[in-house]
Structure 1
C-alpha cells in the first residue's frame, strides 16, 4: 500500500460495497417502477444507478492507485416496497448510510493528514449528500398536492 494509512483501504472497501449495493437497489427499483407504469421514475432510478457506477469506477481506480485489490465484500440486500414512496424511503436510507461513511472517511483523512484521501472522500460526500437531498425533494413532491411525481408521461 502506497503512502496511506492502513485504515483507508477499509473505508474504500466499505464504500465499494455500499456503492455496488446502491447500483443493485436502483436497478431493482427501476424495474419495479416499470411494473407500476412509472416511466419517469424508472428512468430516474436508472440514471441514479449510472451515477453510482461512476462512484464504483472511481473507488476501484483509487484502490488500485493505493495498491489495493478492489473487493466489495458485502452487498446489502435490496429493499423493495409496495409503492414509490416506500422505495424512495429505502433509497434515502441507503444514501444516508453512504453519506455517514463518507463523512467518517473524510474526517479520518483530515485528522491523519491525508489530503488526497480527504479530497477524494469529500467529493464523493458532496455528491451523495446531493443524492439524498434529491430523494428528499422527490418524497416531498409525492406528499404535496398536484401531479403525481414519477407517473407515466
Structure 2
C-alpha cells in the first residue's frame, strides 16, 4: 500500500481518470439499455460487460487514491451521448476510449519524468486496458460493416 502523497499532477490525473471512468460506466450502462430496447440482446450484453469493466477501473482508481492519502472525488461526469444505430454508438465509444487512452498516456509520461514508478505502472495498466477496449470496439465496428452494406442502408438497428 502506498503511503507517500503523489505530486499534484499525479493527483490531477487520478481525479480526471475517476471522472472519465465513472462517465464511461454511465455511458455504457445507458447504451446497453438503449440497444436492448432495439431488440439487440447480444449488443446489450457486450455493453453491460464494458460497463462492468469500467467499474473495475473506477474501483482501482478509488483504491489508489485512498492509498495515496486523498479522498476520491469525481469532478464532473460527462453527458451521455446516444445515437440512432449501433454503428454510431460504437463510433462515440471509440472517441471516448481514445480520450481515456490519451489521458493515461500523458499520466504515464508525467510519472516517468518525475520518477514515480508506482503510479507509472498503475497508469500503464489502465492505458493497456483502454487500448484493448478501443481495439475491441474497432473490431466490433468492422464486423457490422458487411451486415450494413448487405442491407443497402435499410437496416437501422432499431
Give the TM bin, normalised by the shorter chain: over 0.9
1:119 matched to 2:139? The reply is no
Deviates more, 1:110-119 or 1:136-145: 136-145
Does residue 1:51 correspond to 2:49, yes or no?
no
Tell me the secondary structure at the aligned position of residue 75 of structure 1.
coil
Q: Which residue of 2 aligns with 1:81?
A: 83
Q: Which runs of 5+ in 2 are unaligned?
A: 152-156
User: Which residues of 2 match residues 127-146 of structure 1 at below 5 A?
Assistant: 127-145=129-147
Unaligned runs of 5+ in 1: none
List structure 1 segments (4+ residues) > 6 angstroms apart after TM superposition: none
Partner residue in 2 for 1:96: 98
RMSD across aligned C-alpha pairs, in angstroms? Answer: 1.7
Structure 2 distance, partners of 1:75, 1:130, is 23
Residue 78 of structure 1 aligns to a residue whose secondary structure is coil
Q: Determine which structure has more spread, i.e. the larger CA radius of gyration.
A: 2
8 A Cα contact 2:5 2:69, kept in partner: no
Could you tell me whether the CA contact under 8 Å between 2:22 and 2:58 is conserved in 1?
A: yes
Deviations 1:86-115 (A, max 9, x none): 111111111100000000001100111000
TM-score (norm 1): 0.93
Summarize deviations over 1:3-52 as a string: whole Å, max 9, x none. Answer: 42121110000000000000000001101111110000000000000000
Q: TM-score, normalised by structure 2?
A: 0.90
Distance in 2, Cα, partners of 1:122 & 1:68: 21
